[in-house]
A and B are shown apart, each in its own frame.
Chain A
Amino acid sequence: MAEARIEPDRYELREPPRYRFALSRRQFLGTVGAGVVVLVVARDGLSLGEPEPGEAGMLRAAADPIGAWLHIGEDGAVTVFTGKVEVGQDIRTSLTQAVAEELDVPPASITLIMGDTDRVPYDAGTFGSRSTPQMGTQLRRAAAAARATLIRLAAERWEVDDVAQLALAAGRVVHRVSGRSAGIGELTGGRKLVEAITADQPLEPATRWTVAGTPLPKVKGPAIVTGRHRYTSDLRLPGMLVGKVLRPPSFGARLASLDTSAAEAMEGVVAVRDGEFAGVAAPDEATATRALAALRAQWEAASSQASHRSVFEHLRRTASSPANGRGRPAARGDIEAGLAVADERLEASYTAAYIAHVPLEPRAALAQWEGGKLTVWTGTQRPFAVRAELARAFRIGEERVRVIVPDTGSAYGGKHTGEAALEAARLAKAAQRPVRLVWTREEEFTWAYFRPAGVVDVRSGVRRDGRLTAWDFHNYNSGSAGSRTPYEVANARMLFHRADSPLRQGSYRALAATFNNFARETHMDELAARLGMDPLAFRLKNMRDERLRAVLEAAAERFGWSRWQPGPGCGIGLACGVEKGGYVATCAEVAVDRASGQVRVLRIVEAFECGAIVNPDGLRNQVEGAIIMGLGGALWEAVEFEDGRILNPRLSQYRVPRFTDVPPIDVVLLDRKDLPSAGAGETPIIAVAPAIGNAIFRAAGVRLRSLPLVPYGLRAAGHL
């Protein structure tokens, strides 16, 4: 099937599209009134998705280099325009906070226009934990430049030579000597002052932050608790129809024939067939459901496909020759020589099942054609990429497509693509009416994409004193993120092998780092057990990275690792890792009931460090959320499939963490005000599974090497 091919761009989305039809400066300036405008020129390519050397030249030259813009109106209102989107990670709040800090205005006076391709500069997307380090920094610079402009305007107006006498506070510029003051909107006097800045504008150091670094309540919180906020699936337009898509009975099945006459005989129903696409639009949900059922389709099934039982063998069999990302093997020293000098050698294989994102708001879109221009509201992490998809699909210019992303009911890496947008737009085109389309949960579990399944093989060698001598790490299919070991070892190799994935796969919170850290940290635990060493001491012995040591020691200390007294059936485990600029260590305690085989997580302590903290409460919320999401993937979550069908496409069949599954969680945040802020939406998930797996080993003497660890308890897997 076409969709089943490996989609490398979704392992690590780095490449910007080749063409860019971004809103030009002139167009943008036409949309805002008088006041101060600051354009951030992303000269360093930060907003463009960090193209690799050698690929970048042409792409960068073709790109509009504006990263964000900021406008201060004559009423003092601050409006920020950014291509980032809000999917629950609370970036709307932390970006607001960053601007409030630099500009010294109350957060309430700031509005963020996010993810509207007609109003914001191009952005590659909201993923990869880049919004805080990159967009946060750009907006700080824009705000700092606006501040300098406002001070200069006040100095001119009041003929003050020494700008040090002028201060900006609470939305006003004040001349300390004369006591004169003016609101920040009053200073431009009806003019529009435009300034373009580059990435070297000086910034307020984190140690002087007063707003950033303290908790700020969620900007859209009041709209959410009252039910007023409209997600994509809540939007409606006059004359709008409800759309539904006819799905094949199995992956890869071809639509041999379709009879739409019964559906089209229903009042107000439009049926569409376009190649392999078939769907209906109807005045309401019930009619759309009936019309869909009335489509008479004949399908040709695809040839036999791998199942969740045979998938790991399938991935090994179809693996390509070694390639790490772009073909550079990550290797140092000589593996065989390292193994030769080892006192203990260990080979082990690890597996991870496909898992689903299960965003509570399924994929949804509302599409409208007006005078040849297409507008689509949809929940996606990549509005500009979805615009490009739509333009390609309908063979129209990107300037005729507008994508708007309402704050969305979560994504976790699962909403990088525009399926629902394309489907709604196709139906709207045929119906000549706006069409809203919301995927069912079953569609979400079947026709979205999954976190890749994978196999990891590790060969290692270690001396009796605990020093690693060799580390050979091969990942099949799931990706290379997080595959580099943070431990000191002279002879090491990390290889990623692409393979044929029977299911459509793509990004997921932290990508492959979760599985690669699971494999590495489980293997490290196995080595420590072989040597009879304490797992904490063994890790520290092989670790030089001070930031990683700091989180590991902080987590162990808070957890009481060295003072722990075993209760009956209880065990503790720990794991650590580095990813996307964040450092994490997790400790877990579990209880195993040998009679039932049930595993219960009793408590989790996690230490996390991502440089200077912008919004401690938002950060804590992200870390806690990642740990809980990590619990599901660690313990139970697995997509089961056979013959091109998903066998458990319902919430009643796919177990996600619920209230009573969640143990007490203690989060230790290390604030490094001397270091730039890194993103935090992903990395806190990566050490959860190995910490739990290692704790199960200590509790029950059973070494689990597959994710999920205990989908049906320990007994079902024959471990007890």
Chain B
Amino acid sequence: MAPLLELHVNGRLHRVQADPAKSLLAVLREDLDLTGAKYGCGEGQCGACTVLVDGRAVRSCITPVGSIGARPVLTIEGLADGDALHPLQQAFLDEGAMQCGYCTPGMIMAALDLLGRTSSPAEDEVRRALEGNVCRCGTYARIVRAVLRAAGTTTEASNG
């Protein structure tokens, strides 16, 4: 029988019966039905599974759920405040920064990690920070613009 784990996800405490070696991605998707984080490669190479653990981006497909402990997990589903989108989400819409959208949740979470560390990143910093996230549809330039736009929004909001 797999042990009972306590997992803090999107501000809520979940009790999950899971093998500690099971990936965080599988627990989120199978046990919690949080399907915003996607499977793309299973080896941490595409970034579609990106979520934040304690504010930092992790590849949930190669992160054992047993390694999370009491640290809070944030997924794309926990980002909006009710109907009010997070500035990053709004910026992705405003810039049309998606085609099929499969990479979008991972992109937004990776960008959130960046903006948590650097409130107004340079364009080059954005590119380097998101290098591990693949958009096969090729919307890279728009994603960079969206992150820069959201950084601007964030700055304005905190200044004003």
Q: Are A625 and B138 in contact (CB under 8 A)?
A: yes
Q: Do B137 and A625 touch across chains, with their CB atoms under 8 A apart?
A: yes
- B75 → chain A closest CB, angstroms: 7
Q: Given known contacts A225-B89, A226-B89, A360-B48, is B41 in contact with A88 (CB within 8 Å)?
A: no
* Min C-beta distance of B92 to chain A, whole Å: 5
Give the residues in chain B near A358, CB-CB below 8 Å.
136
Q: Which residues of A contact B (CB under 8 A)?
A: 87-90, 215, 217-218, 220-222, 224-231, 233-234, 236, 284-286, 358-362, 407-410, 412, 438, 440-441, 617-618, 621-622, 624-629, 650-652, 656-660, 662, 665
Query: Are A284 and B93 in contact, CB atoms less than 8 angstroms apart?
Result: no
Of the candidates B38, B76, B79, B134, which one forms a contact with A658 in the assembled complex, judged by CB atoms under 8 Å apart? B134
Contact of B26 among A87, A220, A286, A650 (CB under 8 A): A286
20 A–B pairs (Cβ distance < 8 Å), ordered by A = A221-B98, A224-B101, A226-B79, A228-B36, A231-B38, A234-B38, A358-B136, A360-B134, A407-B101, A409-B101, A618-B96, A621-B99, A628-B140, A650-B43, A651-B43, A657-B138, A658-B134, A659-B127, A659-B143, A660-B128
Evaluate whether A88 and B101 lie within 8 angstroms (CB atoms) in the complex, with A227-B35, A624-B138 already known: yes
Assess whether A225 is in contact with B93, with CB atoms less than 8 Å apart.
yes
Considering only CB atoms, which chain B residue lies closest to A627 in the complex?
B138
Q: Mark B120-150, 1 if CB is under 8 A from A, else 0.
A: 0000001110111111111111111000000
Q: Is the interface of B mostly helix, strand, loop or mixed?
A: loop
- Say whether A229 contacts B137, CB under 8 Å: no
Interface residues in B34-56 (C-beta closer than 8 Å to A): 34-43, 45-46, 48
A621 and B142 in contact (CB under 8 A), knowing A359-B136, A410-B137? yes
Residue numbers of B with Cβ under 8 A of A are 19, 22, 26, 29-30, 33-43, 45-46, 48, 75-77, 79-80, 85, 89-90, 92-93, 96, 98-105, 108, 126-128, 130-144
For residue A657, which residues in chain B have a CB less than 8 angstroms away from its CB? 138, 140
> Considering the chains assembled together, what is the distance between the CA atoms of A208 and B92 in angstroms?
30
Instruction: Name, among B39, B45, B103, the residue most crowded by chain A CB atoms within 10 Å (CB to CB).
Output: B39
B149 to chain A, nearest CB (A): 13
Tell me if B140 and A659 are in contact (CB < 8 A): yes
| Interchain CA distance A440-B41 in the complex, whole Å | 7
| A90, A284, A651, A658: the one within 8 Å of B30 (CB) | A284
- Cβ–Cβ < 8 Å partners of A410 in chain B: 99-100, 102, 136-137
The reply to whether B30 and A285 form a contact with Cβ atoms under 8 Å apart is: yes
- Is B40 a contact of A441 with CB atoms below 8 Å? yes
Known contacts A360-B100, A652-B45; A222 and B139 CB within 8 A of each other: no
A629 x B35 contact (CB < 8 A) = no
Nearest-neighbour CB distance to chain A for B5, whole angstroms, equals: 14
Docked-complex contact B127 and A227, CB < 8 angstroms? no
CB contact between B36 and one of A217, A227, A408, A660 (< 8 Å): that residue: A227
Q: Chain A residues near B98: list those with CB within 8 A.
A: 218, 221, 224-225
**A651-B134 in contact (CB<8A):** yes
**Would you call B38 and A361 a contact (CB within 8 A)?**
yes
In this complex, the member of B38, B77, B133 whose beta carbon has the largest number of chain A beta carbons within 10 angstroms is B38
Nearest chain A CB to B139 CB, angstrom units = 6
Smallest CB gap from A242: residue in B: B30
Cα(A440)–Cα(B26), bound, Å: 13
Q: Say whether A90 contacts B99, CB under 8 Å.
A: yes
**CB-nearest residue of chain A relative to B144?**
A659
Q: A361-B100, A625-B138 are in contact. Are A227 and B45 (CB under 8 A)?
A: no
* Residues on the B chain within 8 Å of A221, using CB: 92-93, 96, 98, 101
Contacts of B37 in A (CB 8 A): 227
> Are the C-beta atoms of B100 and A227 separated by less than 8 Å?
no
Contact A662 B140 (CB under 8 A): yes
Given contacts A286-B22, A441-B41, A651-B43, contact A656 B101 (CB under 8 A): no
CB distance from A108 to the nearest CB of B (A): 14
Contact B93 A217 (CB under 8 A): yes
CA–CA, A224 to B103, complex, Å?
A: 9
Task: Please state if B137 and A230 are interface contacts (CB–CB under 8 Å).
Answer: no
In the bound complex, do residue A659 and residue B130 qualify as a contact, i.e. CB atoms below 8 Å apart? yes
Nearest-neighbor residue (CB-CB) of B130 within chain A? A659
Which 6 interchain pairs have the tightest Cβ spacing? A227-B36, A88-B100, A628-B138, A409-B102, A224-B101, A227-B76
Instruction: Find chain B residues with CB under 8 A from A87 CB.
Output: 100
Q: A409 to nearest B CB, angstroms? A: 3
For the complex formed, measure the closest distance between the CB of A245 and the CB atoms of chain B, giving whole angstroms. Answer: 16
Q: State in angstroms the CA–CA spacing of A87 and B100 once bound together.
A: 6
Residues on B with beta carbons closer than 8 Å to the beta carbon of A225 = 76, 85, 89-90, 92-93, 98, 101, 104-105, 108
Query: Which residue of chain A has the shortest Cβ distance to B22 in the bound complex?
Result: A286
* Known pairs A218-B98, A229-B101, A285-B26 / 19 extra A-B pairs, C-beta < 8 Å: A88-B137, A224-B98, A224-B105, A225-B98, A225-B104, A226-B77, A227-B37, A231-B102, A233-B39, A284-B30, A360-B102, A409-B102, A410-B136, A618-B96, A625-B138, A629-B138, A651-B43, A658-B140, A659-B131
